[in-house]
Amino acid sequence: MSHRKRTVGSMTHILLGVTGSIAAFKACHLASDWSKQGHEVRVVMTAAAREFVTPLTFSSLTHTPTRTSMFAAGHNPGDVAGTPDRPLAINHVDDAKWADVLVIAPASADIIAKLACGIADDQLTSTALAYSAGPKILCPAMNVHMYENAVTQRNLRICRELGWTVVEPGSGMLACHDSGKGRMQEPGLIETAVDDLLRENRPDSEMPLRGLHVLVTAGPTQEPLDPVRFLTNHSTGKMGYALAEQARDLGARVTLVSGPVALQAPHGVDVVAVRTAQEMFEAVQGRFDDSDITVMAAAVGDFRPQERSSEKIKKNGRDNITLTLTSNPDILAWAGERRREDQVLCGFAMETTDLEANAAKKLASKHCTMLVANNLRTPGAGFAADTNVVTVLRPGDTDDSPVIEHWDKMGKGPLARRILVELASIRMGARQN
Ligand code: CTP
């Protein structure tokens, strides 16, 4: 299989085949989601699909004429014949060459049978036959008895052998009121399957973290005082989650050790949920030796209450109370002491004054390969923002003079990517030395 240029993470050319099934309405969500995500989507409909949803629906969602016939002169109204300047499009071949991925959703029993034997009697089947260079996905949708029929199962087996990835239908009450397997999967799940497949098909040159284990810490910690109260901080986990997602998109196997946050667990990432600094420490201790690159973006509570009351602390008429705090383990410092030469370790530093001096001290004392520092007071930086403005420090010839770079304000996603690309190249250097 040859590799395509455009892939997940950037704009992708998605060719969506829609066949006759009530699940065609879910294909509208797919077309809409992908378009909104910035991908280019072309839709090919069979005659049966057009009984359920109109081509205009997809053309409107994708801003591209929907393909319905092999014998239309072109995709633009008014195209009648080719000219030397504007050669006649051979639509099914052009679309097959254009696509980075072919998704047939919903895929009826009929299209699955046709694909299994190579029939090319309409625009979709001809396009599918002409498409050869990228991933291809079938999302079956049909009555449970049609799905379980030995001939459909045989056809699906043949399709798999021919390189199709099958997103298995779900079970439940079907439109025909039979109950069982045959309901097309939800759009979110199909989108995830497409992302995963595109990632697998990306060339190594675009996947600098392929084969590596990246360990990320994220979010705040909570240090309980009693059963109803805890000490914590304003961290939202956005930076750490962006790092985990980008590491996955750059090909890594990712473990995300996360304090309590309101963010959705990123798919394809092993999320270890923790609450206290001690729990985060134990989660990291159990995984650090196996990591190639570790990025600690968590805002770990430095102290916890020395006493944790098993009952709610009552006022008992007091005007003030004194809390005694005791220090938590410094997870980054522990990792810095322990790391092997080939392990890359990146810390974060949140400062409110003397950013460079404080960050330089942390870089040296915690034995980091790189430290990403930000000032809470800088506009566009900080916990809840979607952007960050960072200063990046690397060890120089002496601890007192690290190499310092100031990066412009950027979204936490692009920043996470840039940090990881930098760490990947440091790791490559470490391996070669
Ligand atoms: N960190 C950690 N464990 C701690 C405290 C901090 O792993 N107990 C990590 C953070 O995840 C971050 C880095 O150390 O990567 C720096 O955290 P920061 O809170 O900025 O600094 P501290 O080391 O806590 O120092 P101070 O609070 O004095 O600025």
- pLDDT value of residue 181: 93
CA of 364 to the centre of ligand 1 (A): 13
At residue 128, what are phi and psi to the nearest 5 degrees?
A: -60, -40
Whether 383 has a pLDDT exceeding 70, the answer reads: yes
- pLDDT value of residue 80: 44
The pLDDT tens digits of the residues spanning 96-120 come to 999 999 999 999 999 999 999 999 9
Ligand 1 nearest atom to the CA of residue 328, by list position: 8
Most ligand 1 atoms within 8 A of CB, residue of 257, 287, 296 to mutate? 296
- pLDDT value of residue 173: 85
The pLDDT tens digits of the residues spanning 156-176 come to 999 999 999 999 999 988 888
Whether 84 has a pLDDT exceeding 90, the answer reads: no
Ligand 1 nearest atom to the CA of residue 217, by list position: 11
The pLDDT tens digits of the residues spanning 329-344 come to 999 999 999 999 999 9
- pLDDT value of residue 155: 98
Most ligand 1 atoms within 8 A of CB, residue of 216, 362, 419 to mutate? 362
CA of 402 to the centre of ligand 1 (A): 19
Q: Assess whether the C-beta atom of 347 lies below 6 angstroms from ligand 1.
A: yes
Residue with tokens 């996905």: 137
CA of 304 to the centre of ligand 1 (A): 14
Considering the candidates 117, 159, 176, 368, report the single residue annotated as catalytic: 176
CA distance 166 to 171: 15
Average pLDDT over residues 34-59: 97
Most ligand 1 atoms within 8 A of CB, residue of 332, 368, 423 to mutate? 332
CA distance 191 to 99: 16
Q: Assess whether the C-beta atom of 350 lies below 6 angstroms from ligand 1.
A: yes
Average pLDDT over residues 64-76: 76
Q: Which helix (H) or strand (E) holds 361?
A: helix 355-365
Q: Is 176 marked active-site? A: yes
Whether 4 has a pLDDT exceeding 50, the answer reads: no
**Could you tell me the pTM of the whole model?**
0.86
Compute the chain's Rg from CA coordinates: 27
Q: Assess whether the C-beta atom of 368 lies below 6 angstroms from ligand 1.
A: no
Whether 309 has a pLDDT exceeding 80, the answer reads: yes
Q: Assess whether the C-beta atom of 332 lies below 6 angstroms from ligand 1.
A: yes
* Residue 280: closest CA among 247, 235, 242, 325: 235
CA of 298 to the centre of ligand 1 (A): 8
Q: How confident is the model at residue 253 (pLDDT cuts 50, 70, 90)?
A: very high
- pLDDT value of residue 146: 96
In this structure, which residue's CA is closest to atom 16 in ligand 1? Answer: 349
Q: Assess whether the C-beta atom of 282 lies below 6 angstroms from ligand 1.
A: no
Provide DSSP, 41-64: EEEEE-TTGGGTS-HHHHHHHHTS
Q: Assess whether the C-beta atom of 281 lies below 6 angstroms from ligand 1.
A: no
